[in-house]
Amino acid sequence: MDQLLQQIEEYKKEIGQFTNGDIKAVEEFRIKWLGTKGIVKSLMGEMRNIPNDRKKEFGQVLNDFKALVENKFEELKEGSRIEETAAGAGLDLSLPGDPLPLGSRHPVSLMRNRIVSIFQRLGFALADGPEIEDDWHNFTALNMPEFHPARDMQDTFYVQQNPDWLLRTHTSNVQIREMEKGKLPIRGIYPGRVYRNETVSARSHCFFHQVEGLYIDENVSFADLKQTLYFFVKEMYGTEVKVRFRPSFFPFTEPSAEMDISCTLCKGEGCSVCKHTGWLEILGCGMVHPNVLQNCRIDPNKYTGFAFGMGIERPALLKYGINDIRLFSENDVRFLQQFASAI
């Protein structure tokens, strides 16, 4: 036992003076303490000379010591390996670097950026609003009071804690939030995610994305709306594409319209994507209803404006030839990687 304690003392002294990072010294340390003829092994050999009643005590101390030395050796080995690399031994600077896989933009983001940037070039300012919204901003202020039938068209998710809260069903809530700020004129473009309680299928999802546009100033007319959207279509789909407006109804615009473009796949001939009509519906729009202006404390006798709203998923499906909307939210890298070089 004395001999063992003496060795432990010697070990401690030696470790105190050890030069870190010296590979040769680490190997010498191993041979001296852990080698087949090393000190730990020889102390193990002493076991049989220990009287039975002290074997347990001796064994315990020796085992602890052995573990201590082994751990130390691992630590020293690691230290010298790092030093070795840092010193440049075996480092070939001409080797190519490890490839870092780059992520890619999501097709919905790509499409959103394209849409937004076209309107930004016309001076529309980017803004966003909350996805958890109150009834006022999503419905009431948009001229859809309680029990208005138009509310049923958008199956709404409500927030359990507060019956006044919901997941916005469209980005039109941002129109209200921007108008309420009271700074005029407004020329804004508002992309974002929206939610509707719909059965998930290849064609529809319980969440998707929209882009909302709003322009409020003195003397804004329907002609401005049409010209703005013509510009958008030309930039987005090219000069060949034809445009048509159909009268429609939205509670927050009057008059209201829906805009179609000639089918980009069959060039208006008729195919399964355009359901053989030759046309694709791409957005809803109209002149902001005077009630909506009033709800936002804007004088409808002085100001007029137009608004429009469009989905992002459908144009993205068309542009990238995707046939299932669910792919957008499954996060399958095999799908996402295909957009690495897309714009």
By CB under 6 A, name the binding residues for ligand DAH: 170, 172, 212, 250, 253, 284-286, 307-309
CA atoms of 245 and 238, how far apart (whole Å): 18
For residue 248, the tally of other CB atoms under 10 A from its CB is 15
What 3-state class would DSSP assign to 46?
helix
Q: In DSSP terms, which residues pair with 305 in a beta bridge? A: 216
Task: State how far the Cα of 241 lies from the Cα of 237, in Å rounded to an integer.
Answer: 6
The conformational region for residue 286 under phi > 0 = left, psi -120 to 50 = alpha, else beta, is left
Chain position whose Cβ is nearest to ligand DAH: 309
Indicate the residue type of 287: M
The 186-195 sheet, strands edge to edge: 125-126, 186-195, 207-217, 304-311, 279-288, 253-262, 243-250
Q: Could you tell me the smallest distance in angstroms from the CB atom of residue 329 to ligand DAH?
A: 19
- Taking the CA atoms of 183, 184, 185 and 189 in sequence, report the sign of the dihedral they define: positive
Q: What is the DSSP letter of 158?
A: B
How many Å apart are CA 190 and CA 168, to the nearest integer? 13
Nearest to 29 by CA among 89, 59, 71, 90: 71
Q: Choose between 167 and 285: whose C-beta lies nearer to ligand DAH.
A: 285
Please say which residue, 279 or 308, places its beta carbon nearer to ligand DAH: 308
For 115, 125, 172, 213, the CA distances from 309, given in Å and listed in that order, are 11, 15, 8, 6
Residue 62 or 151: the one with the smaller Cβ distance to ligand DAH is: 151
Q: How far is the CB of 235 from ligand DAH (least distance, A)?
A: 19
Q: Please, which residue, 40 or 325, has the CB nearer to ligand DAH? A: 325
Nearer to ligand DAH, 11 or 308 (CB): 308
Nearer to ligand DAH, 104 or 156 (CB): 156
Q: Is 173 helix (H, G, I), strand (E, B) or coil?
A: helix
> For residues 83 and 254, which CB has a smaller minimum distance to ligand DAH in the complex?
254
